[in-house]
Amino acid sequence: MSSQLKKARLAPVIAILALALTACGEEGSAQGGSSFSDPSQGVSPTSVDFGLIYDQTGATASTQVPFASGIMTAFEQANESGGVNGRTINPVECDEKYEVAAGVACLKTMIDQTPVVGVSGLNNGSFQVAAVELVKNARIPVIGPQSTSEAIVNPFPGYIWATMCPYPTQADVSVAFAASELLGKDDFRAVGLGGNVASGDSYLNQIAERVEKMGATYVETIKYDMAAPNLDQQAQRVSTIDPDVIFMHGGASQGVTALKSLAKFGVTDTPTLAIFGLLADQIPLAAPDVGDDFYAMHCFSNAKLSDVPGVAKMIEAAKAAGYGEEIYNTTDFTNGYVNGLVIVEALKRAGDELTRESLNEAVSTIQNFDTQGLSPQVSFSSEDSVGVDSVRPYKFDYENRLWQPVGDFEDYEDCNAHEFVEGNIEAWSPDCIK
Amino acid sequence: MTQFIQILVIGLTLGSIYAVVSVGFVLIYKATEVFNFAQGNLMVVGAYISYSFIRGFQISPIFAMAGAVLAAGLLGVLLHFLIFRPMLGKPVLSIVMGTIGLAMIINAVLVMAYGPIGKSYPDVFPSEVMDWFGVRISSVDFIVIGIATGCVAIFAVFFRRSPLGLQMRATAENFEAASLSGVNANLVFATALGIGTGLAAVGGILLATTNALSIGLAEIFFLAFPAIVIGGLESLGGAALGGVIVGVVQSMAAGYVSQDAQTVIVYVLLLVVLLIRPYGLFGQREIVRV
Amino acid sequence: MPTKTINSSYRADNRLIQSRARWTWLAILGLGLLYLPHLLLNREFLGLTLSNSQLLGLSLSQINVALLFIIAAVALNVLTGYTGLISLGNAGFFALGAALVAVFDLQHDLPFVLVLPSVAIIGALVGVIVGIPALRVRGLYLLLATLAFHQIAGYLFLEYQQANYGEIGVIYAPPEVIGRWALNSETRWYFFLLVLTTMTLVGANNLLRTRQGRALVAIRDHDIAAASAGIDVNGVKLRVFGMSSAVITVAGALYAWYLGVAEASMFSIHFALDFIAMIIIGGLGSINGAVLGVLLIQLLPQVITTVSAQVTSTSPMVGELLGRNGPQLNDIILGLIIILIVIFKPAGLNGIWLSLKRSFVRWPYTS
């Protein structure tokens, strides 16, 4: 027998050894808790697995990492106080990399490979579309994508529950707030400034629709490239049109670039209303001249608003979970935290016999869930999968370096025309602010 | 007409930034034949270092920026000894891949050090808008163009007049002959890496002043690429001019065609140049011996 | 037992699988691959239940994506590794494949058996056009020319998508391969892709044993010398561009079908660069290398995540560092592997495997 063959025989032995070694790393625990378990859905008597699919390394990591951190903070907070119905919540993370393929692999893995009872995340628009069918077939509840596109809301999906205010709600409040609070007239001239991506088009179309419905003039949508190094041309165009108000779409990086360019071209006194993606400190700090007329819509209060009752508890939980200011001071963190509270609430309501089906059932029963000012009250029903129905404008306070809300969430409740659910904006009028 | 001049000025500002980065890139390529995909990431490193100096150590912006360029240069020298020198002489694609590996590491380290959330770069240049017959030009544009041109000019003088510059040119011209006449190739390569990385840092800092400082800024490098090719991989002057051309073409495309089309038009230009003059506008035909 | 089979006839020398030992190994591999879906879906091996970490957190869907990528990586390796024509056009051809499926399947409702060949033919034609610059430029300039194709293809896909499908992207239904038999489960996809991957691997291995295949290597080593040796360099270059592009375009079509959605931002420059990383890590100019490279890049992150989860339960300090920066550490490790391979092992994983094998065979006469 030659040495070659002996060597070849070693291979399986090594493989088995390796397998045995990993087996040793497995921990086994059995103590107290519930008697119900369903390993095929990630539920054991003492713990429950919940999936978090989010972008950890890709283009949107800067917003999704704080979002997921918020969810995990809510989980740890629940675990500290004894878990939910005797079970500790165990987050199972997966990096979606802002790639559809990676996201789909994550979701499929969580459906039957490393099964979880429910998932959160699914924040990238195209991934959401790819996920809808998978989610329906697997009947697995998705609680809280960080963005809410029409594709996951209408038609009513049955298993996807949104805790983020959708674009139409932001458009409802933006236009009403501009017309009745900032300008005080119906015959203004507006321009839109939006990225050359799908969400930019759809948001600014919703704005244009409302501006025109009230009889004002929507001059044009000025587009920019999401990766553009500056927005000089767009700013120059805005200064030529000289509108009464600017409606803006984009994310934090684009916001900084836009404000710097607007300042460069002297567009410093025109009220500018933006979407939630633009509620980041660095934007107004980038160009204070523009920033003092800059408003961003949002449905969450961030950790710097010390007079919001829910904030103290959130910060305490964030610190206990080991997150720094850098992470928990962002509105994305609050978004995640509220989302985590909703998940915990749903797990509670699902009771002892926790399954995907009972969890999904439980979400639809959540009504007027109070987050102590961190967000509007969260309400779902078996027809309405959008839980957060109100937004309010925020304006940057340079003295205290934080975003101050303009009014309460309730003041803007009536503005919501529920366009995604109703299919039109008949119910919308600019005089909706209390 | 004012519209045209306006767009031209905007393009020139952008182009001058591309030019600085491209010159740094071509310098490295000429000296070491390393096609450095990590140049965009090195740009971002420079910007982050200057950010740390300004915000963390409270150093005045001018010194902070100069210090960051210097620090980036030293990093370049370090990278030469760690990564670039061992890669010399490997197949073209392997070297490209090695620099992509480097880019991955740089990105990951930056995220670990600064977190995933972008930073707001402090306003370091005074912004004053001037209106000349309807053409609006901001003082920031002048400053950016000025700094970029200044850096390229200083480099050009160094390259043409200093003994080390002479050695660099000799090495680029004929490596073996230069080595035989006593040129220290290692020193030349290290200098090239240092200056190339320093120039990348200049570009990165200039970009950061008009942008949110984030890892994603490195993507803009993919527009400096066509600049390099259009100028010719071998020509430093060509790289500078290519940068300006790309800046202007991109700006014109965005202004007169559409936002979506600006990148693709630059690349179509690249393709046309490649088909007509395969070695770039200022490059030299490679003569191959059998 | 001889350490190398000595061929005593041309027929023996021409065999694809040369020794009986090879046959045995291939048979074992084949059986393993047939058993894999059962192992991964039911997580049990001969009655023994396995945990996720024992399976390194792998899932069948990751394997399916890896199979798809192997098809494309092998095709790219024939172009880049064997012929020396550098191409960054991979993502562009994936986009082309996705768009063609949208046109043929969604808009014109052609049957599956017609869609795939049409995709391949158009992919080949576009590949030949993209290959034209390769007749004039080489090396880095070719890399940039294909980068231009990448940008143009991405732009056209975006325009097509926005004109016909709007914001979120093109949405595909599972394809019905024969009659009503649709690729609608992981297992079905697995076996379908396994057949295609095997065909690609056998095809590529076969190609390289022909006169054409040897011409490819001659062109890589010195195209002008190859021309003077009587090889139709331009013709061969265009043909190999066409062939490789056809396969990659088909892979792109299947990728879109498999995911159920395609959107312009999916086909980014990083997607294209990933393939280059795969073939370089695996070993330029080796079929096995392409396979190994894909497996490493696709499966490594999952393995690192799983291992770091294990570490967390034993030593929280290290676990904390790994847990918070897991994906970053993954990138650093991958980056280091790439750099180390480029510097020390230019032949890639396949080279490492071959030299290991050689030192085993020659033991104890190894250096």
Backbone dihedral region of B79: left (phi > 0), alpha (psi from -120 to 50 degrees) or beta? alpha
* A4, A25, A109 ranked by CB distance to C53: nearest: A25
Q: What are the two backbone dihedrals, phi and then psi, of residue A426, each rounded to the nearest 5 degrees?
A: -50, -40
Which of B93, B215, B286 to substitute to test the interface with C, most C CBs within 10 Å?
A: B93
Tokens of B116: 């995933």
Residues C106/C172, Cβ–Cβ less than 8 Å:
yes
Backbone angles phi, psi at A344, to 5 degrees: -60, -45
Average confidence score pLDDT of chain C: 83
First vs last C-alpha separation in chain B: 55
Say which residue, A340 or B5, is predicted with more confidence: A340
Q: Which of A25, A105, A127 sits opposite C61 (nearest CB)?
A: A105
| C49 Cβ under 8 Å from any chain A Cβ | no
Query: By C-alpha distance, which of C242, C260, C228, C213 is closest to C87?
Result: C242
Determine the distance from the C-alpha atom of residue B45 to the mean position of all C-alpha atoms in its chain, rounded to a whole number. Answer: 13
The length of chain B, given as a count of residues: 290
Rg (CA), chain B: 19
Q: Which stretch of A172-181, A197-206, A359-368 has the lowest confidence by average pLDDT?
A: A197-206
pLDDT attached to residue B91: 80
| Rounded Cα–Cα distance for residues B272 and C241 (Å) | 20
What pLDDT shows up at residue C314? Answer: 62
Contact: C168, A100; criterion CB under 8 Å: no
Tens-digit pLDDT profile for residues A268-292: 889 999 988 778 888 888 888 888 8
| C181 beta partners | C178
Neighbours of C (≥3 Cβ pairs closer than 8 A)?
Answer: A, B
DSSP A377: P
Is any Cβ of chain A less than 8 angstroms from the Cβ of C261?
A: yes
Chain-wide mean pLDDT for chain B?
84
Residues of B in contact with C167 (CB under 8 A): none
Are the C-beta atoms of A141 and A359 separated by less than 8 Å? yes
ipTM of this complex prediction, to 2 decimal places? 0.85
The amino acid occupying position C307 is V
pLDDT of residue B284: 66
C331-346 pLDDT per residue, tens: 888 899 889 988 888 8
Secondary structure letter of residue C53 according to DSSP? T
Burial class of residue C181 in the structure, from the number of CB atoms within 10 Å of its CB (0-12 exposed, 13-18 middle, 19+ buried): exposed
Instruction: Give the E-state strand segments of A81-123 in sequence order.
Output: 88-95, 119-121
The pLDDT of residue A29: 39
Question: What does the pLDDT look like over A258-271, one tens digit per residue?
Answer: 888 888 888 888 99
Cα torsion C136, C140, C143, C144: sign: negative
Mutate to test the interface with A, among C45, C189, C261 (most CBs of A within 10 A): C261
**pLDDT at position C153 over 60:** yes
Model confidence pLDDT, tens digit, residues C232-286:
888 888 899 999 999 999 999 999 999 888 888 888 888 888 898 888 888 888 8
Verify whether the Cβ–Cβ distance B259 to A261 is below 8 Å: no
What is the structure's pLDDT at B34?
A: 83
Q: How far is CA C224 from CA A295, B89, C214, in A?
A: 65, 21, 15
Using a CB-CB cut-off of 8 Å, the residues of chain B touching C145 are: 270-271, 274
Q: How far is B126 from chain A (nearest CA, A)?
A: 10
Residue with tokens 């003994």: B163
Q: Summarize the confidence of residues C125-142 as an average pLDDT.
A: 84
Mean pLDDT of A328-341: 92
Query: Tokens 């046959």 identify what position?
Result: C23
User: What pLDDT digit, counting tens, does each position of C176-224 carry?
Assistant: 887 778 888 888 999 999 999 999 999 988 888 888 888 888 888 777 8
Asked whether the beta carbons of C253 and C273 are under 8 A apart, the reply is no
d(C-alpha C327, C-alpha A65), whole Å: 12
pLDDT band at C289 (very low <50, low <70, confident <90, very high): confident
Q: What is the DSSP string of A69-89?
A: HHHHHHHHHHHHTT-BTTBEE
Mean pLDDT taken over chain A: 84
pLDDT at C318 over 90: no
Per the CB < 8 A criterion, the answer to whether A327 and A317 are in contact is: no
Residues forming a β-bridge with A274? A248, A296
pLDDT, tens only, B53-96: 888 887 888 888 899 999 999 999 999 999 888 888 788 778 88
Answer for the pair A367, A342: CB distance below 8 angstroms, yes or no: no
CB atoms within 10 A of CB B243: 31
pLDDT, tens digit (0-9, with 9 covering 90-100), for C25-59: 888 888 988 888 888 877 777 777 776 666 777 78
Expressed in angstroms, the distance from the first to the final Cα of chain C is: 22
Grade residue A9 by pLDDT with cuts at 50, 70 and 90: very low
The helix/strand count (H/E) of chain C reads as 15, 6
Q: What is the DSSP letter of A43?
A: B
What percentage of chain A exceeds 90 in pLDDT?
35
pLDDT on residue C317: 61
CA nearest B88 in C: which residue?
A: C343
| B120:A286 CB<8 A | yes
Return the ∠ at Cα A236 (arms to A233 and A242), rounded to 5°.
140
Model confidence pLDDT, tens digit, residues B156-198 = 888 888 888 888 888 877 777 887 888 888 888 888 899 999 9
Q: What is the pLDDT of residue C205?
A: 86
A376 vs A392: CA distance, rounded Å: 10
Top mean pLDDT of A289-303, B202-216, B255-269 is at A289-303
Angle CA(B120)–CA(C264)–CA(B18) in degrees, nearest 5?
45
Question: Quick one: pLDDT band at residue B42, thresholds 50, 70, 90?
Answer: very high
pLDDT single digits (tens) C70-88: 999 999 998 888 888 888 8
B101 vs C342: CB contact, 8 Å cut-off? yes
CA C356 to chain centre: 24
Nearest CA in chain A to B214: A253
Strand (E) or helix (H) holding B209: helix B185-209
Section A112-116 average pLDDT: 82
Angular region, A144: left φ>0, alpha ψ -120 to 50, beta rest: left
Residue length, chain C? 367
* Average pLDDT estimate for A304-323: 90
Question: What is the 3-state secondary structure of A133-164?
Answer: HHHHHHCCCEECCCCCCHHHCCCCCCCEEECC
Is the model's pLDDT at C2 over the cut of 60? Answer: no
Q: Is residue A71 scored above 90 in pLDDT?
A: yes
Nearest CA in chain A to C168: A126
Joined together, the tokens standing for residue A377 give: 């009250």
Q: What is the pLDDT of residue C118?
A: 94
Interface check for C54 against chain A (CB to CB < 8 A): the answer is: yes
pLDDT in tens, A117-129: 999 988 877 788 7
Within 8 A of A322 by CB-CB distance, chain C residues are 320
pLDDT exceeds 80 at position C7 = no
The set of residues, in sequence order, having a beta carbon less than 8 Å from that of A420 and lying 6+ positions away, is: A148, A150, A153, A154, A166, A168, A386
Residue A217: other Cβ atoms inside 10 A? 13
The sign of the dihedral angle between the CA atoms of A71, A76, A78, A84 is positive
CA distance A323 to chain C (A): 10
Q: Nearest CA to CA, how far is B36 from chain C (Å)?
A: 11
Q: Compute the half-sphere exposure of residue B126: CA atoms within 13 Å on the CB side of its CA.
A: 2
The amino acid present at B283, given as its one-letter code, is: G
The yes-or-no verdict on residue B22 having pLDDT over 80 is yes
pLDDT for position A118: 94
Q: Looking at the predicted structure, is the pLDDT value of residue C367 above 60? A: no
Alpha carbons B208 and B224: distance in angstroms, whole number: 16
The rounded distance, in Å, linking the Cα atoms of C94 and C119 is 11
Tell me, what amino acid is at C335?
A: G
Per cent of chain A over pLDDT 70 is 92
Q: What is the pLDDT of residues B109-166, one digit of tens each?
A: 988 888 777 777 877 787 777 777 777 777 888 888 999 999 888 888 888 888 888 8
For chain C, percent of residues with pLDDT exceeding 90? 23
DSSP code, position A189:
E
